[in-house]
Amino acid sequence: MRSRNYSLAVEVKLMGSLNRDDLKKMCGDNFPEWISFPIYEQVKWLNKQLSKLWPFVAEAAEAIIKESVEPLLEDYRPPGITSLKFSKLSLGTVAPKIEGIRVQSLKNDQITMDIDLRWGGDPNIVLSVQAAMVASIPIQLKDLQVFTVIRIIFQLAEDIPCISAVVVALLSEPKPRIDYTLKAIGGSLTALPGISDMIDDTVNSIVTDMLEWPHRIVVPIGGIPVDTSDLELKPQGKLTVTIVRANGLKNHEMIGKSDPYVVLYIRPLFKLKTKTIDNNLNPVWDQTFELIAEDKETQSLILEVYDKDIGQDQRMGVTKLSLNELEAETPKEIELRLLPKLDMLKVKDKKDRGTITVKVLYHEFNKEEQLAALEAEKKILEERKRLKAEGVIGSTMDALDGAASIVGSGVGMVGTGIGAGAGIVGSGLGAVGSGLSKAGKFMGRTFTGQSSSSHARKRSGSSTPVNSLQQNGGA
């Protein structure tokens, strides 16, 4: 009897070591589909404990979110909004649910853990939204639901607490989903036209540019200064993009034709913009730009076509090109179909939006080019912060338009020590187009006070860049 039990145990152990492909070979067409091989380990015990701890976790998280996210709302808010802040922030009483955890093998003194998170809670989140010439309106985020996979990387150390740093990011696949509805408290959303799209774009930009892998947050642990440079995101390559033309654009004007231009980016924080072609649904731009890529395997080039308008510009179509489809050092011309939105599930009007043709070339950085691009990127962000502090731009996203458009393209010309742009263009940041010299001259004239009006202000005792820009109409 004992021998039989031992034999049965051996057989069970052997069966347990088989994977799905092994079983399919054995069973053939009779393989039962109900057999599953879960990638994620179920952690019911953890959800039970999380429910008990949630009131304390939520209170701590609310303070952290308000302190860290509110500055991001200010940085990423679109030009149409002058102020975007939290007026209320409560994460509610319903704890998130962890569907499963996958712990990967030890690698380079690191432990990588992927957490499948679902949250359909009852938070009370109210945003104070203000636009030009409109009083502040409280906007409530209702029916908030979050579906995502969180990647956590623990950097191990020999000293207690044995972890020197933690890396947190959202996996790009499956795509993070943050669903909500917006409701104006004591008013109507119609008072701020396009407010829903603006807030959606802001939320998506923050998630994509700050949290979605390969972007990540690096947190040192233990209070001991550690070098986290190896954990931080670094430039991987340069994408040279020529916006050639568009065909068959959908007209957005009652009289005449649309005036299209293209906004292109890999990271929303570093958007570039073409010139505007007036009254044309088949425009030819033939402009070349250079963009930085941090992770060719997961990132995409986003192309948005807009109709220039007196009020708010209307988006005519959007498309994307996965960088993973490109072969290094191999030029490629591609025609891409424009869509109403990248997420077509919520789109009712699926009519044709036309096409856009681009030429692309991907170049992989060597170590020296990588360090140069990283340094140039830091200088761009520092210059934007300086312009924002001086009131030249309202947010980092404003750098796309107006006098500060040169900053958005990565060429800091005004006494920043970056040079006249050639060094940055060579390192992969900056646009190569006809609009650069004009914007550069404008900014140089404004900040150095070479115009006659600025000389007059200097004599009267006022020479701030903010005033000179506003009185020249540049801002």
Q: What is the pLDDT of residues 375-430, one digit of tens each?
A: 888 888 888 878 877 777 766 666 554 333 333 333 322 222 333 333 333 333 33
Query: Does residue 451 carry a pLDDT above 80?
Result: no
Across the chain, what does the average pLDDT equal?
Answer: 74
Distances in whole angstroms, Cα of residue 409 to Cα of each of 81, 135, 257, 268, 388: 22, 32, 28, 12, 16
Angle between helices 44-76 and 195-206 (to 10 degrees): 120
User: Which range has highest mean pLDDT (154-158, 298-302, 426-430)?
Assistant: 298-302
* Residue 323 confidence (pLDDT): 93
Q: Please indicate, yes or no, whether the overall pTM of this predicted structure exceeds 0.75.
A: no
Is 182 within 8 Å of 143 (Cβ atoms)? no
Residues 6+ apart with CB under 8 A from 270: 291, 292, 377, 380, 408, 410, 429
Query: Does residue 157 carry a pLDDT above 60?
Result: yes
Quick one: which of 233, 256, 85, 74 has its CA closest to 168? 233
Q: Which pLDDT band, with edges at 50, 70 and 90, does 364 fall under? A: very high
* Residue 24 confidence (pLDDT): 65
Quick one: which of 475, 474, 384 has its CA closest to 429? 384
User: Which range has highest mean pLDDT (132-141, 248-257, 288-297)?
Assistant: 288-297
Q: Which pLDDT band, with edges at 50, 70 and 90, does 16 fall under? A: low
Is 256 within 8 Å of 295 (Cβ atoms)? no
- The least confident of 88-97, 213-222, 262-271, 323-332 is 213-222
More confident residue, 409 or 262: 262
Q: What is the pLDDT of residues 51-60, one digit of tens each?
A: 999 999 898 8
Query: Helices in 124-236 by DSSP H: which ranges?
Result: 195-206
Rounded mean pLDDT, 434-440: 30
* Residue 468 confidence (pLDDT): 28
